[in-house]
Amino acid sequence: MRPYQVGGKWYYPTKVDLGEKFDGVASWYGPNFHAKKTSNGEIYNMYAHTAAHKTLPMNTVVKVINVDNNLSTIVRINDRGPFVSDRIIDLSNAAARDIDMVKKGTASVRLIVLGFGGVISKQYEQSFNANYSKILHKEFKVGESERSVSGGKFSLQMGAFRNQIGAQTLADKLQAENPNYSVKVAFKDDLYKVLVQGFQSEEEARDFMKKYNQNAVLTRE
């Protein structure tokens, strides 16, 4: 997915893993946006279980838990927002009703990534079948899902080693310092190459290079 700019600020959709958790404040949006286009071109339906998020890949499926009352629901990301600093997700009216936050307008929530491409991973099938309504079962299906998704289209080769240990040491360091990217060691042309993947733009990749003050090989994924 491409980076985008709102209010002079750039947002970069990032790599996300199955089961990853995020905590923050949720809000909801409804009548003023109903039947209008979302960021991915769909028509917004406030009665469906969808949501807006600033950086999660489109069609990521997340469980949303209201931490104050432990009510939960499931949504699919099909829009961008909310562009308010202290909020992490904007829920549809239907999803907001599920967790009893319509009247208050906001709620402290925990998000858990359940799947990608609009599909809930099979490892969550039992919980989904046991805990959610027939309405949600009509909107979502369980199936095979990737374990992680990255919206990035650029990657960097940060080093090339004849010794695998040296390459793995650098890869481990880069991964620990940059959890939003995917770092791996690939053996090619008799060298162990350290690759960082998941950059949304050439500019983002070059900023990463400057951070480590070294030349790297920039490629399109």
pLDDT, tens digit, 9 for 90 and up, residues 131-176: 898 889 999 999 976 666 655 567 899 999 999 999 999 999 998 8
The span from the first CA to the last CA of the chain, in angstroms, equals: 12
Identical fold for domains 4-148 and 152-220, yes or no, is no
Q: CATH for 152-220?
A: 3.30.70.1070
What secondary structure does DSSP assign to 73-84, as a single string?
A: EEEEEEE----S
pTM of the model: 0.68
Average pLDDT score over residue span 191-205: 83
CA torsion through residues 10, 12, 13, 14, sign: negative
Q: How many CB atoms lie within 10 A of CB 56?
A: 26
In DSSP terms, which residues pair with 196 in a beta bridge?
A: 156, 183
- Take residue 180 and report the two structure tokens written for it: 């939003």
Q: Smallest Cα–Cα separation from 212: which of 177, 184, 179? A: 177
pLDDT of residue 1: 54
Structure confidence at residue 220 (pLDDT):
66
pLDDT, one tens digit per residue, over 13-69 is 777 889 999 999 999 998 899 999 998 889 999 999 999 999 898 899 999 999 999
Residue 167 per-residue DSSP state: H
Mean pLDDT is lowest, of 32-36, 97-101, 165-169, 196-200, for: 196-200
Average pLDDT, the chain: 89
Name the residue type at position 123. Answer: Q
Domain locations in the chain as residue ranges: 4-148, 152-220
Please state which CATH number belongs to domain 4-148. Answer: 2.40.40.10
